[in-house]
Copies of this chain bind each other. A is one copy, B any other.
């Protein structure tokens, strides 16, 4: 295996490292050194457990390990499931020094992090993301939470992990569709903050889809760096951090209207980015470049036929609505995003028409 790369998310006393490498799981990386005490609860799902649970335990040598295996899927990202994690902690006598370890994708990370935030008003937490989406997105920034029947991620907490361990070899077992969904957030990182990285992605999208290890490692690293930079400046999303939601206002509305679990989150965000780019008033040539890159990543570039009015209604429940005035993340140009409530309503309506099928 090559030498792991380490990025530090700078958040004062809550700073933490992201360690990226191939073969870290089951290797000699001492994850146990990051535990708050002598014991931990590993939370995973029934897809990931048979693949990586045993190898992870090698990284926790000498520690007392409890495990909880949840059913796989966004449908289980609920307060009830989180409550089950708390039950497991209580029944195993976990104290304030325990550490929760999330082994899986974004759903596992979000549920586990939220449980860690709430158990005894906050215990330690480690992320071991095994999907590309979780590696580049949900493992960075400390957002945790669960869905409400009426809205996504409405319940949660900000709770930073002590370390994030990214073994890019776990992507070998990721289904094609989920790899593409992760690439949506990689492309987003370039679109909102780094035109040079966006160009690199245009040049290397074929290698990424073909799972070239070096290309994937660079994409993960640069995406994490961009998100880490933005989060460091604005941990609680008072301002600039909101640009990370590029494509998400439309994307969440798509997921809400379809019912969670139809499209993957990254797929909804891909279509949402095209809609947000349409609202941005940038050159059509730049919108075309974004669409071409998303298509090359095997991602949708238009919403499903859920209806424009249904999407508008869904956006009324979005977290970025302040005083009932819709705000959107738009692009000034490829590589630079901003948040605005100053947009042309007729352009918004035109963009939403794509959802009328």
A26 at the interface (CB under 8 A from B): no
Q: Which residue of B has the minimal Cβ distance to A237?
A: B121
The answer to whether B119 and A154 have CB atoms under 8 Å apart is yes
Q: Among residues 239 to 256 in chain A, which have CB atoms less than 8 Å away from a CB atom of chain B?
A: none
Interface contacts beyond A86-B154, A118-B157, A121-B157: sample of 7 additional A-B pairs, CB < 8 Å, sorted by A: A37-B323, A90-B150, A90-B154, A95-B323, A96-B322, A97-B323, A118-B145
| B93 touching A316, Cβ below 8 Å | yes
A99-154: which residues lie under 8 A (CB-CB) from chain B?
Answer: 117-122, 143, 145, 148, 150-151, 154
Give the nearest-CB partner of A39 in chain B: B323
Chain B residues whose CB sits within 8 angstroms of the CB of A118 once the complex forms? 118, 145, 155-157
Q: Check if A317 is an interface residue, CB within 8 A of chain B.
A: yes
What's the Cα separation between A323 and B319 when bound, in Å? Answer: 40
| B322:A97 contact, CB within 8 angstroms | yes
A83 within 8 A of B: yes
Q: How many residues of A contact B (CB 8 A)?
A: 36
Q: List B contacts of A236 (CB < 8 A).
A: 122
Question: A86 to B316, Cβ gap below 8 A?
Answer: no
A151 touching B38 in the complex, CB below 8 Å, given contacts A79-B79, A156-B118, A322-B96: no
Q: In the complex, what's the smallest C-beta–C-beta distance from A202 to chain B, in angstroms?
A: 35
So how many copies of this chain end up in the complex?
Answer: 2
Q: How far is the CA of A93 from the CA of B148 in the complex (A)?
A: 13
Answer yes or no: A34 CB below 8 A from chain B CBs: no
- Which residues of chain A have a CB within 8 Å of any CB of chain B? 37-38, 79, 83, 86-87, 90-91, 93, 95-97, 117-122, 143, 145, 148, 150-151, 154-158, 236, 316-317, 319, 321-324
The listed residue (B121, B150, B155, B158) touching A143 by CB distance below 8 A is: B121
**B322 adjacent to A95 (CB under 8 Å):** yes
Residues from chain B with Cβ under 8 Å of A317 in the complex: 90, 93
Task: Determine which of B95, B154, B155, B157 lies in contact with A321 in the assembled complex, contact meaning CB atoms within 8 Å.
Answer: B95
- Cα distance, A117 to B157, chains bound together (Å): 7
In the complex the two chains form, what is the Cα distance from A211 to B148 in whole Å?
45
